Each structure stands twice: as structure tokens, then as C-alpha cells.
């Protein structure tokens, strides 16, 4: 009997989906009451797509192959002010039916309650709390770029250490330097790295790929890492041990990732280091995963 892959569940904040900068400025300058008044007065005004809107549409488009993906809205709006968001969802014909409106309180706890495989938000504190609760999460950075693949194929790129993998190797690099890191990775080449915060998200993506057409698969993944030979061997052996397919692997040896992510036409890129994320966000939509030694005080 064939076991169906679990449905991919992604929780998103309203500011990930739509551009709410203008109304957020009202909140920052004049407070909650002025914000609520503004949203209700503009209830019929459609919101412009946000930085992750193309990602959301491509995720939902996977459902043309079957019941594979669900998007859930988690918003700090009140139910009253959230009506504008739902009006825009309806206008863009996005199949998002489940939502939580928390009236200013962090909604991160509901990501885990919905069994989400990933939570995307523009609020760094919400993301940190979600990660601490065991839910994969990333902070979507502001981006001016509109770069995305014009095809319907969903393209997702990941950094390795402290994202897909634990930060065990990164700790050696930060504490002892490049030479010690390279030697340690050579010695441990046959020992799989332990799982990082986005491992399960990639695993579900991989399981979906197995059910979708192999030729011209509508999902393509890439590892984009600062590692280079000989530290590549442990990475490849780790994916083999996990039984997970990665479609492309870019071992850049410390080169800037932005141009390569643009060449891959990533719909989203995940990295643990804020400086790498800021650089990448000039080229593609980027999620910061605040995990590992580089994110410790």
C-alpha cells in the first residue's frame, strides 16, 4: 500500500503575504486605535502583494496535483481590522480558509497547534519564540526585488549549517577557525550531521517531490553554502543518510550568495546569518533563521 505524503502546512503572517507598510506606519506613529480606524476606513481597499506573495501562490498552485499544501494566516490584527486582509485574500483568489487574529498578541503558539511545518513572519520575536517551541520558523526580510522564476516551478534554497543541519560544525569554525573546521569535517566525513531547525520542512518537501511528476517536477530545491571541498563530503553523506533528495548543491567557498541565488531564481532562501540574509535579500526573497552560535548574544 502506498503511504501518502503528509500535507505541507505553512503558517504565515499578514505582513508576509501583503504590503502593510502604510498601515503599520499609522500604528507606529499614532497607536492601536488610529491603526484600527485606518484599517476599517480602508476595508474595501485592496492590499498590494507582499515580499512572499509569489512564494504563497506557487505553494498553493501545487494543489492542482492533489491536496498537498495548506496555508494558514496568523495575524496580530484584531478580527475587526483583519477583515481587510481577508477581502484581499478573496480578491487574489488565494485558497486560505483558516486564520487566527490575536489583537496584538504574538500568534506564534498557534503555528505549532496547527502542526505547521514552517512559520513565516516579519516579526523577529515571534519567529524566535516559534523556534524555541520547536516549530521551524524564519523572519522574512524586507526586499525591493521582484526576482522570481517566471515558470510555475517552486524553487527553494537553503543554507546548510544551523538551517538544515545543526550548528555543530559552525561552532568549531567560529571558535577555532577555518583550518580546524576543515580538519574536523574531513575526520567526520562519514558521520551524518544532526538535524537543524528546517530539516523537517525539507523532509516534507522531499516527500511531496516523490509524489509529483519526476520529469519537470514542480518543486526544485538547492543547497547554497559557504562550504567548499573537502567539507562538501560530509554534507553529501548527510543527505544520503537522511534519504533526502536535494536537486542542486552550490559549494561557494565563502563567495557572496546573492548572484547565485538569482541565477537559481529562488522563490525563497533561508540562512542563519543576518549579514548573508541582508545580502541575499537584494536578489531574492529571504528568510532569516535565528538559530545557532551566530545568533547567540
Residue with cell 568549531: 172
Q: How many domains does the chain have?
A: 2
> Rounded to an integer, what is the distance from CA 61 to the centroid of its chain?
17
Pairing of strands 154-158, 219-225: parallel
Q: Is residue 165 helix, strand or coil?
A: strand
Grid cell in block for residue 179: 583550518
DSSP annotation of 64:
G
- Predicted confidence at residue 1, as pLDDT, reads 39
- Predicted confidence at residue 149, as pLDDT, reads 53
211 assigned to some structural domain: yes
Whether residue 169 sits in one domain with residue 127: no
Tens-binned pLDDT, residue by residue, of the chain (297 aa): 345 667 999 999 999 999 888 877 877 787 778 877 888 888 888 999 999 999 999 999 999 999 999 999 999 888 887 888 999 999 999 999 999 999 888 999 999 999 999 999 999 999 999 999 999 999 999 986 654 556 789 999 999 999 999 999 999 999 999 889 989 999 999 999 999 999 999 999 999 999 998 888 999 999 999 999 889 999 999 999 999 999 999 999 999 999 999 999 999 999 999 999 999 999 999 999 999 999 988
Say how many C-beta atoms besides its own lie within 10 A of residue 265's C-beta. Answer: 17
Residue with cell 505524503: 5
- Predicted confidence at residue 128, as pLDDT, reads 96
Tell me how far apart the alpha carbons of residues 116 and 254 are, in angstroms, rounded to a whole number: 33
Q: For residue 113, what is the enclosing H or E element?
A: helix 108-113
- Predicted confidence at residue 29, as pLDDT, reads 84
- Predicted confidence at residue 178, as pLDDT, reads 86
Host domain of residue 32: 8-140
Residue with cell 523537517: 200
Whether residue 158 sits in one domain with residue 55: no
Grid cell in block for residue 234: 560530509
146 assigned to some structural domain: no
Neighbour-count burial of 12, counting CB atoms closer than 10 A to its CB (0-12 exposed, 13-18 middle, 19+ buried): buried
Residue 132 dihedral angles phi and psi, to the nearest 5°: -65, -25
Whether residue 186 sits in one domain with residue 85: no
Say how many C-beta atoms besides its own lie within 10 A of residue 107's C-beta. Answer: 26
Tell me how far apart the alpha carbons of residues 222 and 66 are, in angstroms, rounded to a whole number: 24
Whether the bond between 112 and the residue before it is cis, its omega within 30 degrees of 0, is: no
> Rounded to an integer, what is the distance from CA 198 to the centroid of its chain?
9
Whether residue 244 sits in one domain with residue 200: yes
- Predicted confidence at residue 31, as pLDDT, reads 77
125 assigned to some structural domain: yes
Distances (CA, A) of 76 to 14, 65, 140: 8, 32, 16
Tell me how far apart the alpha carbons of residues 212 and 90 are, in angstroms, rounded to a whole number: 28
Whether residue 163 sits in one domain with residue 126: no
Q: For residue 184, what is the enclosing H or E element?
A: helix 178-187
147 assigned to some structural domain: no
- Predicted confidence at residue 50, as pLDDT, reads 93
Q: Is residue 79 helix, strand or coil?
A: coil
285 assigned to some structural domain: yes
- Predicted confidence at residue 2, as pLDDT, reads 47
Tell me how far apart the alpha carbons of residues 192 and 169 are, in angstroms, rounded to a whole number: 11
52 assigned to some structural domain: yes
Catalytic residues: 159
Whether residue 254 sits in one domain with residue 290: yes
- Predicted confidence at residue 250, as pLDDT, reads 97
- Predicted confidence at residue 150, as pLDDT, reads 62
Select from 183, 190, 273, 296 the least CA-distant residue to 224.
Answer: 273
DSSP annotation of 161:
B
The model carries a pTM of 0.93
Amino acid at each position: 500500500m502506498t503511504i501518502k505524503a503528509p500535507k505541507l502546512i505553512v503558517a504565515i503572517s499578514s505582513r508576509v503575504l501583503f504590503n502593510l507598510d502604510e498601515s503599520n506606519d499609522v500604528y507606529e506613529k499614532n497607536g492601536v486605535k488610529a491603526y484600527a480606524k485606518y484599517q476599517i476606513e480602508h476595508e474595501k481597499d485592496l492590499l498590494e502583494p507582499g515580499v512572499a506573495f509569489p512564494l504563497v501562490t506557487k505553494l498553493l498552485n501545487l494543489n492542482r496535483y492533489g491536496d498537498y499544501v495548506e496555508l494558514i494566516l496568523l495575524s496580530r490584527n484584531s478580527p475587526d481590522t483583519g477583515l481587510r486582509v481577508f477581502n484581499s485574500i478573496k480578491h487574489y483568489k488565494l485558497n486560505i480558509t483558516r486564520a487566527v487574529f490575536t489583537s496584538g498578541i504574538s500568534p506564534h503558539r498557534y503555528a505549532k497547534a496547527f502542526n505547521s511545518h514552517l512559520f513565516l513572519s516579519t516579526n523577529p520575536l515571534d519567529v524566535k519564540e516559534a523556534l524555541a517551541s520547536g516549530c521551524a520558523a524564519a523572519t522574512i526580510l524586507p526586499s525591493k526585488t521582484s526576482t522570481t522564476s517566471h515558470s510555475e516551478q517552486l524553487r527553494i534554497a537553503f543554507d546548510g549549517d544551523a538551517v538544515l543541519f545543526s550548528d555543530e560544525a559552525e561552532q568549531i569554525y567560529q571558535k577555532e577557525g577555518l583550518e580546524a573546521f576543515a580538519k574536523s569535517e574531513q575526520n567526520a566525513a562519514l558521520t551524518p550531521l544532526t538535524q537543524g531547525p528546517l530539516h523537517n520542512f525539507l523532509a516534507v518537501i522531499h516527500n511531496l517531490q516523490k509524489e509529483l511528476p519526476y520529469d519537470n517536477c514542480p518543486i526544485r530545491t538547492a543547497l547554497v553554502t559557504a562550504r567548499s571541498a573537502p567539507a562538501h563530503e560530509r554534507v553529501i553523506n548527510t543527505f544520503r543518510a537522511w534519504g533526502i533528495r536535494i536537486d542542486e548543491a552550490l559549494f561557494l567557498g565563502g563567495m557572496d550568495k546573492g548572484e547565485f541565488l538569482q541565477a537559481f531564481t529562488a522563490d525563497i532562501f533561508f540562512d542563519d546569518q543576518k549579514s548573508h540574509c541582508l545580502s541575499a535579500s537584494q536578489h531574492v526573497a529571504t528568510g532569516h533563521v535565528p538559530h545557532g552560535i551566530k545568533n547567540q548574544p
